[in-house]
Amino acid sequence: MVEVIELTKEFKAVKAVDKVSFDVKPGEIVGLLGENGAGKTTTLRMLATMLKPTSGTAKINGCDIIHESSMVRGEIGILFGGEVGLYDRLTARENIKYFAQLNGMEKEKCEEQINKLVKIFGMEEYVDRRVGKFSRGMKQKVAIARSIVHDPKVMLFDEPTAGLDISASKIIQDFILQCKKENKAIIFSSHMMNEVEKLCDRVVIINKGKVVEQGTVQGLKEKYNNHDIESIFSELIGGEAKNE
């Protein structure tokens, strides 16, 4: 469903992403791991057609992100941590509805999907209030609902639980697992290794724009003879840095 092929992005003399390749199958959750500045967000922005690759490409549901970008946008849901991008003067419902209409949803289907998401994310009490004075957690729920209201087949999440409390984080995690059951392909980045272990079928570890390792969490534990995935991550990042 998602095929990333030697994806590369350069900003002047800086190679932010360097020939990154991986795939995501239907019903699979792949975690994109790396330190701040490793290239995770740049990779996700290219997959979302927000940035044009310097070289390489990716295909989402068979659509090329460079030559068929408009078709790709209809197949994906995107949420970048810290960038809720909501309209403060609109209610939560109006924000979600606006993006549903941008994706060409019919009125009846739109209302049905919004009501479903309101219930899933527990937004009944504030869905018809303006979002300007919402808490960070409330805004994050609205932003996530907005990003997937059109029921996309591929989800791109950059730290979707950032800023949420434990109960709100669990709602998001449960939703991601429900998406997996619905055979969607999910790519998400997270700095929380317990979240990675709970959700991911596979992980792709990036350091300085390059893929340094990928595989299942259990497979990496066996390969490195270490049951602590955070320790494995630190070893890989540190080892790559020392070699350069």
Q: For 116-166, how does the pLDDT look when each residue is reduced to its tens digit (9 = 90+)?
A: 999 988 999 999 999 999 988 888 889 889 988 998 999 998 888 877 788
The pair of three-digit structure tokens given for residue 44, joined into one six-digit string: 């996700």
Domain ranges of the chain: 2-243
Q: Which residues of 203-225 are buried (b: 16+ CB within 10 A; e: fewer)?
A: bbbbbbbbbbbbeebeebbeeee
> Model pTM?
0.87
The backbone torsions φ and ψ at residue 158, rounded to the nearest 5 degrees and listed phi first, read -105, 100
Q: Which residues of 93-111 are buried (b: 16+ CB within 10 A; e: fewer)?
A: bbbbbebbeeeebeeeebe
The pair of three-digit structure tokens given for residue 85, joined into one six-digit string: 């991008």
**Per-residue pLDDT tens for 69-105?**
999 998 999 887 665 679 999 999 999 999 999 888 9
Tell me the pLDDT band of 27, cut-offs 50, 70 and 90.
very high
**pLDDT (average), residues 11-33:** 95
Tell me the pLDDT band of 242, cut-offs 50, 70 and 90.
very low
Does pLDDT of 244 surpass 70? Answer: no
Identify which of 65, 66, 56 has the alpha carbon closest to the alpha carbon of residue 20: 56
* Residue 74: predicted pLDDT: 87
CA distance 38 to 106: 40
CATH superfamily, domain 2-243, is P-loop containing nucleotide triphosphate hydrolases (3.40.50.300)
* Residue 142: predicted pLDDT: 92
Among all chains, which residue has been given the structure tokens 């290794």?
193
